[in-house]
Structure 1
Amino acid sequence: MGLALHTTQQDGRATVAARGSIDLHSSEELRERLTELVDAGNKVIVVDLTAVDFCDSSGLNVLVRAYKHARAQSATFTVTGAYGRVENVLRTTGLDKFLIGDPAADG
């Protein structure tokens, strides 16, 4: 299916709604989008994975790198909406402790 990204920005908060699969073939697009948002000065970055049905190790790598990049810029980075296989892989790897959060608490 590939990956579709829809970004909304307001008052220093950027939300990226992803749809489809985050894998080796699509993760670069997500990486570029997240890097641009952090570099543009957004202080809260939220990735909505509600419509994502698959995320492999390259997708996890993008999320971890974006989290670290945001932290280095004094921004917050959270993932919401993960369910099923995507939530399971985040929990199994322990990344849920860093990535899954309540975006309302961040801004």
Structure 2
Amino acid sequence: MGLALHTTRQDGRATIAARGSIDLHSSDELRSRLTELVDAGEREVVVDLTAVDFCDSSGLNVLVRAYKHARAQNATLTVTGAYGRVENVLRTTGLDRFLIGGAAGEGVGT
């Protein structure tokens, strides 16, 4: 399964709902979309991973680089909806501490 991305904007927040797998073959599409949003002036970007069933190291790399790029532009990038294997990889790598928005752990498993 590939990756489908759907972007919505509401109340000053851009949300990218991802569906499928974030891997070597699909991570460039996510990277491009995240970079475009931040470069277009979005100050709050949320990546909804509720419908993502797999995320490998290339996907993690995209999320980390997008997070750093957003910070450099005085914007925020957070992740929500991670569960199962995706939640596990975020927790195992420690990326959940800065990628998952809200209070500690909020958004995980939702």
The TM-score with structure 2 as length reference comes to 0.91
Aligned residue number for residue 44 of structure 1? 44
The unaligned stretches of length 5 or more in structure 2 are: none
User: Matched residue pairs, number?
Assistant: 103
Aligned residue number for residue 73 of structure 1? 73
Contact 1:47–1:80, Cα closer than 8 Å, also in 2: yes
Q: Residue deviations 1:49-75, cap 9 Å, x none? A: 000000000000000000000000000
The TM-score with structure 1 as length reference comes to 0.93
Aligned residue number for residue 63 of structure 1? 63
Aligned residue number for residue 101 of structure 2? 101
Q: Distance in 2 between matches of 1:13 and 1:73?
A: 15
Aligned residue number for residue 2 of structure 2? 2
> Sequence identity, in percent?
87
Task: Give the letter for the 1:77 counterpart.
Answer: L
Aligned-residue offset at 1:13:
1.4
Contact 1:6–1:18, Cα closer than 8 Å, also in 2: yes
Task: Give the letter for the 1:42 counterpart.
Answer: E
Aligned-residue offset at 1:11:
4.3
Report the aligned-residue RMSD: 1.1
Q: Distance in 2 between matches of 1:10 and 1:99?
A: 20
Aligned-residue offset at 1:10:
3.0
